[in-house]
Amino acid sequence: MTEKRKLENAIHKVMREIALIKHDYCVVCGRKDGILQGGHLIPKSASRSVRFDLMNVHTQCSGCNSLHRYNQAPYINWFIKEYGADTFDELVRK
């Protein structure tokens, strides 16, 4: 593993911990049990510019995080309800 990859992994672990402080449940389905992940609203592969943006990372259970690849609507709807359409639009513009 390269040094860059190690650093990125360490940053993602810290971001997950910050997300857990904000929400100790899956923001999509509400689950509190199991392992919560730091899910990216805008996928890491889609935009490097918001990959490490804390507004782009929230807690999700593994099931909801996996389903986000195929159906982004539940997570997007939660985000807009929580933070507003303007904040969503600003994140997308980044």
Is 88 a residue whose pLDDT tops 90?
Answer: yes
Residue 90 has pLDDT above 90, yes or no: yes
Question: Above 90 in pLDDT, residue 6?
Answer: yes
Distance of CA 70 to the CA centre of its chain: 15
Distance CA 50, CA 35 (A): 24
Residue 88 exposure: Cα atoms within 13 Å on the Cβ side: 13
pLDDT single digits (tens) 9-26? 999 999 999 999 999 999
pLDDT tens-digit profile of 28-66?
Answer: 999 998 899 999 999 887 878 899 999 999 999 999 999
Residue ranges of the domains in the chain?
3-93
Half-sphere exposure of 84 (CA within 13 A, CB side): 3
